[in-house]
Every structure is written in C-alpha cells, then in structure tokens.
C-alpha cells in the first residue's frame, strides 16, 4: 500500500506506511480543529519538534497508551520519561537515526522551545524523513532561513510549511521557503487554529503556483494525500 500523510489540524500529522504509523507533534484534545481525539489515534512512533504545548500536549498520553517510541530532542525525551514514557529515541539538530520505517534527521528551526511547565525544552527542530524512495520535510515551527536550500538539496517529494505568521513564518516567507526547498509538493500547516494565526491558504497556494515549481496542496483537517 502507498504511504499516506494525513493532516490532523495545526502542526499535527500522521503518516501510515502500511507497516508503521508515525504521529508528528500530537496536539489533539485541546485543538479546536483536530478531527480526532488523543485516545483514538494509533502510533508506533511519535515525533516531537519542540516543547510548546501545541506540539507536545498529547505526546505522553499517546505514547503511554500505545507503547509508541518517542523521537525528539534529548531534553524532551527526559521530560517525557519523567511522565512515564518508556520508549524514547533522543537526538539533536543535525543528527539522524535509522528506524524500522526509514531515516529521521532533525533539522534546524528558528523558534523557541520550553515545556508547558517551564522546564527547558532544548533546541526546536524540524524533521526530514526518508521513507523508502520518498523524502518529506516538516519545517515545524520556524522562521524562514537560508539553509532551507541545503535541506532541499536532498530532493524533496513533499514539504510541510507553517503559514500562520506571528509565531512562525507567514504566507509570504512560506513562498520564499518553497523556492529554497524546491519540493515537488508543498502543504501548509500551523494556521486557522485560532484567530491570531488565521490565513487564506488558497491565496497562498495561488502564489506558490505562480512563483514556484511546486504543486501546493491545501488540505482540510482530516484530509489525506498519498506520498
């Protein structure tokens, strides 16, 4: 079966390779736009980009219920272990690890990372996943940065970029990021969850189409694409 990518609202995504289920930045129970609750998602691996509540909120409960392995920076692994998470794979920026579904590399993100209880959350990151012959890059919460050009040199099938503005890059910088990354397809995330990050994703997609070679795909929460 083809690998699928499903948007669960905000910065939360699930990948189903047919063999493994990977959940990124689980923010479900308190998300106004999530189509599912944390007690109904399946996961073999949970990836966490940084310590903010809208990315880590349901990580511990999902990992404890499912036995999933959490892949995130060293500091967040320690924080989750204190909450009872048994299986973690700590890493840090620039590093990569091979897992049963493929390779996970943790990429730079220009953002901040503190846990919901104020504990230091290490460096924020993004993820470059290699799944079979496909490469997918999740920028996660970040500003635009020129090194995206280097990430794009891996040859990206899909890039997922924040467009919400205010806390991350907004639509204009996400168009510039698309130019640097040069992915085949690009999907927006981290917008329309709350009024301060409301954006017109279709207007952004029209700019991507006009100004880049990438195909923009705007999903509704719950929407899926095949990789």
Helices (H), 10-165: 53-56, 59-66, 74-82, 148-152
Is residue 87 within 8 A of residue 100, CB to CB? The reply is no
Cα separation, 171 vs 21, in Å, equals 30
Cβ 52 to Mn ion shortest distance, Å? 5
Q: Helices 59-66 and 74-82 sit at what angle, rounded to 10 degrees?
A: 70
Q: Which residue, 126 or 216, is less far from Ni ion as judged by CB?
A: 126
Site string for Mn ion, 31-70 (x = CB under 5 A): -----------------------x----------------
Distance between CA atoms of residues 45 and 31, nearest Å = 21
On the CB side of 46, CA atoms within 13 Å amount to: 32
- Min separation Cβ 111 and Ni ion, Å: 6
52 near Ni ion, judged by CB under 5 A: yes
x-or-dash string of contact with Ni ion, 7-46, rule CB under 5 A: ----------------------------------------
One of 16, 141, 165, 173 touching Mn ion (CB under 5 A)? 141
Point out which span in 40-48, 72-80, 94-102, 138-146 binds Mn ion (CB under 5 A).
138-146
Using CB under 5 A, which residues numbered 86 to 145 contact Ni ion?
141
CB of 164 to Mn ion, least distance (A): 8
Tokens in use for 178?
């698309």
- Residue 44 binding: pick among Mn ion, Ni ion, none (C-beta 5-8 Å cut-off by kind): none
CB 100 within 8 A of CB 76: no
Assess contact for 191 and 163: CB atoms under 8 A.
yes
Contact (CB, 8 A) for 117 and 124: no
Least distance CB 111 / Mn ion (angstroms): 8
Under the rule (CB under 5 A), what is the footprint of Ni ion?
Answer: 52, 141
Under the rule (CB under 5 A), what is the footprint of Mn ion?
Answer: 54, 141
């Amino acid at each position: 079966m083809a690998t699928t990518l499903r948007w669960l609202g905000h910065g939360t995504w699930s990948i189903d390779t047919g063999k493994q289920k990977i959940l990124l930045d689980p923010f479900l129970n308190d998300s106004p736009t999530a189509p599912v609750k944390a007690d109904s998602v399946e996961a073999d691996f949970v990836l966490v980009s940084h310590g903010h509540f809208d990315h880590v909120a349901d990580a511990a409960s999902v990992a404890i219920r499912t036995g999933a392995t959490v892949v995130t920076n060293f500091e967040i692994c320690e924080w989750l272990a204190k909450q009872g998470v048994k299986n973690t794979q700590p890493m840090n920026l620039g590093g990569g690890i091979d897992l049963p579904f493929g390779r996970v590399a943790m990429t730079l993100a220009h953002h901040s990372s503190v846990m919901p209880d104020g504990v230091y959350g290490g460096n924020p990151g993004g993820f470059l996943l290699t799944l079979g012959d496909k490469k997918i890059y999740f920028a996660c919460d970040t500003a635009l940065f020129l090194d995206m050009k280097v990430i794009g040199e891996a040859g990206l099938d899909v890039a997922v970029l924040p467009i919400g503005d205010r806390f991350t890059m907004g639509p204009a910088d996400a168009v510039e990021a698309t130019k640097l990354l040069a992915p085949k397809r690009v999907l927006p995330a981290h917008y329309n969850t709350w009024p301060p990050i409301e954006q017109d994703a279709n207007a952004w997609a029209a700019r991507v189409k006009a100004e880049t070679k990438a195909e923009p795909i705007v999903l509704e929460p719950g929407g899926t694409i095949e990789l």
